[in-house]
Structure 1
């Protein structure tokens, strides 16, 4: 009886650690940036605070490459200004439609 319970416990622990290893190994797909157009004029910030230095102002309708959804409020974005200079920074999510 004890051998059966011990075998069951070891099997359960092995299953849990295997699932944890898969998640920890970073098996997230490598996603390419996704193009979005802004719906309002927004600011590209150097950091994820409104007090962070402003890199540039992004006009309404401008194309932005969203590289990562960082948190509930910001996305990491790459923007090329009309002069051809590319900036990478953070923008508020509400700069884009749904």
Structure 2
């Protein structure tokens, strides 16, 4: 008798996790792009590790569009330099504290 109840409880828990996952994805897609100016020389990377390739460098005062705050140390960013748009990741320390 306990097995069917345990099975049904497991299915309900799985359904709840799936619903929560779908709900969070809709929230992150509605975030706004915010433009910031860098305060130091910064590098736009293709990933969030020390081994990530450097895509380009920007100097202090460069405008960067932050599209997502994905990590404690990194933000997902878009830089337009010389008419070319490049997407990648930058350290949060590139921007003033808010």
**Alignment: residue pair count:** 82
Report what 1:25 is aligned to: 22
Equivalence for 1:68: 68
Report the aligned-residue RMSD: 2.0
Q: Give 1:48 deviation, angstroms.
A: 0.4
Instruction: Tell me the equivalent position of 1:88.
Output: 87
Larger radius of gyration: 1
Aligned-partner Cα distance in 1 for 2:46–2:21 = 29
Query: 2:6: which partner in 1?
Result: none
Q: Note closer, same or farther for the CA distance 1:56–1:22 as it changes in structure 2 (3 Å cut).
A: same
SS of alignment partner, residue 28 of structure 1? helix
Per the alignment, do residues 20 and 50 of structure 1 end up closer, same or farther by CA in structure 2, a change over 3 Å counting? Answer: closer
CA distance in 1, matches of 2:88, 2:18: 32
Give the aligned partner of residue 45 of structure 1: 45
Counterpart-to-counterpart distance in 1, 2:27 and 2:17: 14
SS at match of 2:27: coil
Unaligned segments of structure 1, at least 5 residues: 1-18
- Relative distance call for 1:20 and 1:52 in structure 2 (3 A) is closer
**Unpaired segments of 5 or more residues in structure 2?**
1-15
